[in-house]
Amino acid sequence: MNQLGPSAGRAFGPLLAGILISIRSVTAAFFGLTALYFVTVIVTMRLPHSRPTFVQKGSAIQQIGQGFGHIRKTPVVFWVIFLQAFSLIFFGMAFPVIPAIAVEVLDTSEVQFAWMWGAFAFGQAAAAIVLAIIGGIKRSAISLLAAVLLFSVFFVFLGLTDNYWFALVFLFGMGAALPLWGATLMTLLQHFTSPE
């Protein structure tokens, strides 16, 4: 669910924005986004209140210090957090490159550019569904390695292509790599971290 929610937004958000821009204007897309944020605020305010299952004593600074102490004592948690920070740099570098490829190499329209983001998001959603059906990959190292290899190979191919349809396939593959990476890291973090 953590992977499906954002991927649905990344799939349909740019697609609808691209359609609004092509039939109306950029202003219409911003008004549409504003309306979606307004609906989100209303839905969020209607959520039931929940109580934390574990309440710690002490100040926020003390709790942060205890958190760092736990990370220092648990090597798996340290490396998972390191990999998450690394992934923001490694995977994040694709996001500014995709619009540049769309404009300077593929010369896409607004709707075609929206489909590029949609292909990325559909790949992410498809992989998340497969992971949910099979119950995840038991060997975390294989999952992480597969994610890095898939993302890297498809990213290189995306950079080398000048064909729009191939670009959609490569973006789908890049999106499919993200749930392998993200779900594995989150599972490891939850497994090796105590409730406190």
Domain presence at residue 53: no
Domain presence at residue 148: yes
Domain presence at residue 58: no
Domain presence at residue 160: yes
> Is the per-residue pLDDT at 170 higher than 90?
yes
**Total count of domains within the chain:** 1
pLDDT digits (tens, 9 = 90+) for 88-120: 677 777 788 888 999 999 999 878 888 888 888
Domain presence at residue 128: yes
Domain presence at residue 86: yes
Residue 178: CB atoms within 10 A of its CB come to: 23
With 0-12 / 13-18 / 19 or more C-beta atoms within 10 angstroms meaning exposed / middle / buried, residue 125 is buried
pLDDT digits (tens, 9 = 90+) for 25-41: 778 777 877 887 888 88
pLDDT band at 166 (very low <50, low <70, confident <90, very high): very high
Containing domain of residue 142, as a range? 4-45+74-192
- pLDDT, position 28: 78
- pLDDT, position 52: 63
Domain presence at residue 142: yes
| Burial readout 13-46 (b: 16 or more C-beta within 10 A, e: otherwise) | bbbbbbbbbeeeeeeebeebeeeeeeeeeeeeee
Provide the mean pLDDT of the chain.
81
pLDDT digits (tens, 9 = 90+) for 52-93: 666 667 788 888 888 888 888 888 888 888 877 777 677 777
DSSP of 139-194, one letter per residue? -HHHHHHHHHHHHHHHHHHHHH---HHHHHHHHHHHHHHHHHHHHHHHHHHHHHS-
Domain presence at residue 38: yes
Closest CA to 149 of 181, 119, 104, 121: 181
What pTM was computed for the model? 0.70
- pLDDT, position 169: 95
> Is the per-residue pLDDT at 13 higher than 80?
no
